[in-house]
Amino acid sequence: MSRLKKEDYNNSMRLESYDLATFAGQLYQLNHQKILDAVTTPEYLLAKKVLACGCGDSFCAAACAKQAFLQLARVPMEGMPAIELSRHYSGQDLDDTLLFSISSRGKTSRVVEATQRVKKLGKNTTAVAIVNFPESPLVDAADELLLIQMPKFECGPYTEHAPCQRSYFSTMFTMMLLAVRMGEVRGHYCARQAEAYRQGMIDYAASFTRELVDQNDDRMWQLAQTWVNFHHYEVVACGPEYPNAWFGAAKFVEAYGDLATYENTENWPATGPYAKDPQSIGTVVILDRENEAFDLSVEVIGQMVALGRPTIVITDADAGAFPAGAEVFEIPSTPYRWAKPLMQYSPLGNLLGYISKMRGSSFYRYGDHEPFVRETMARMGGDPISNEPLLIVP
């Protein structure tokens, strides 16, 4: 493995990790006015709660924006899977809701269903469709349209559709900008402060300079040569970082087909130590230095290392705070804690992209030599996410 040449395994997933630094500013320039205009002042003022739903990455990105709404808009907020809102959330608790329904194509059945349910059962509700295409069932079901335009991805010949860091960032960034706007409209700070928040988000992404990502990339390349032999993975976090753990675990599956679990840091000592063959379980911990469970998390990382688990820590804390044996990736920080989830996952793109290509795998197993996805879709009668019947649960 040591004779492998890194440049022979270049790929679109690692290039997305590089792209995020400039992506934020480009995304803002293309969409900031639409985000400002997406919700009216009365709609912001009348809302007593904010709900956001989607499937997969979409609801994780929305959940990452929870702290922004709590701290800036000072309003209760929940980001949840669409099925939770469409089938299980109390129909008696939907009044005065500002709903953000997220689906790139606007065709995801459960997101459409959740939107219709909120509109039917809730009084004084506003539903905003956040999409990348202007015409869809979701747009028809919602009151407002927020059409997000994506900047072009300059990736040279590496055009394979990668597990989506850019779209994940786009959704999270959009949701946080909406929180900034809501807090401004509700009078919690002035327009100048709102602009400072927006610029702070852009600056935070830009602080992941090419030099920094190059350093991370070199280290991830070395780790990939060992981690390529693993088939069990786990991503651990808690608090505001927890949705990024779900996202990170999903990327292992999408990148090359191996399953990964995600776990809450507090619960890990109740389950993690009992997993067999710990030396072959690639483990990732995402940890903000301001996390209220920081000391507990460091203790848990010590347990992982003591068990022999190969452990990566992605953090804005000093590497010296962690036990010897953990591979600590220090990432930049921002004074706005609510914005930190924007970039905490990005080093994983370098690692997973390399492992996928070292295995000869296609992202999402779409390749001609991996027809699993196409054959499975055919057996299921097409895309099950978009072709399900709709049901409004009272």
- Note the pLDDT of residue 381: 65
Q: Is residue 379 part of a domain?
A: no
> How many CB atoms sit inside 10 A of residue 5's CB?
7
Q: Is residue 320 domain-shared with residue 193, that is, in the same domain?
A: no
232/102 same-domain check: no
- Residue 384 is predicted with a pLDDT of 63
106-131 pLDDT, tens digit per residue, is: 999 999 999 999 999 999 999 999 99
- The range of the structural domain enclosing residue 267 comes to 210-365
The pLDDT value recorded for residue 377 is 67
Please state, in angstroms and rounded to a whole number, the distance separating the CA atoms of residues 273 and 263.
12
Which of residues 163, 182, 206 is at a domain's end? 206
Structural domain total, the chain: 2
**181 and 97 in one domain?**
yes
DSSP 129: E
Do 192 and 220 belong to one domain? Answer: no
DSSP string, 299-367: HHHHHHHHHT--EEEEESS-GGGS-TTSEEEE----S-GGGGGGTTTTHHHHHHHHHHHHTTPPGGG-S
Amino acid at 262: Y
If asked whether residues 201 and 243 sit together in one domain, one would say no
**Measured distance CA(91)–CA(376) in Å, rounded:** 35
Q: 141 and 11 share a domain?
A: yes
Residues of the chain with pLDDT under 50: 1
The whole-angstrom distance between residue 132's C-alpha and the CA centroid of its chain comes to 17
Domain membership of residue 392 (yes or no) is no
The most distant pair of C-alpha atoms in the chain lies apart, rounded to whole Å, by 65
- Looking up residue 169, the CATH number of its domain turns out to be 3.40.50.10490
Residue 9's nearest CA partner among 370, 366, 356 is: 356
Identify the pLDDT of residue 108: 94
pTM beyond 0.85: the answer is: yes
Tell me: do 201 and 76 sit in the same domain: yes
Q: Say how many C-beta atoms besides its own lie within 10 A of residue 177's C-beta.
A: 23
Question: Edge-to-edge strand order for the sheet containing 77-81?
Answer: 77-81, 49-54, 97-102, 126-131, 144-147
- Residues contacting residue 40 through CB under 8 Å, at least 6 positions apart: none
Q: Are residues 146 and 41 in the same domain?
A: yes
pLDDT in tens, 269-301: 999 999 999 999 999 999 999 999 999 999 999
Residues 221, 162, single domain; the answer is no
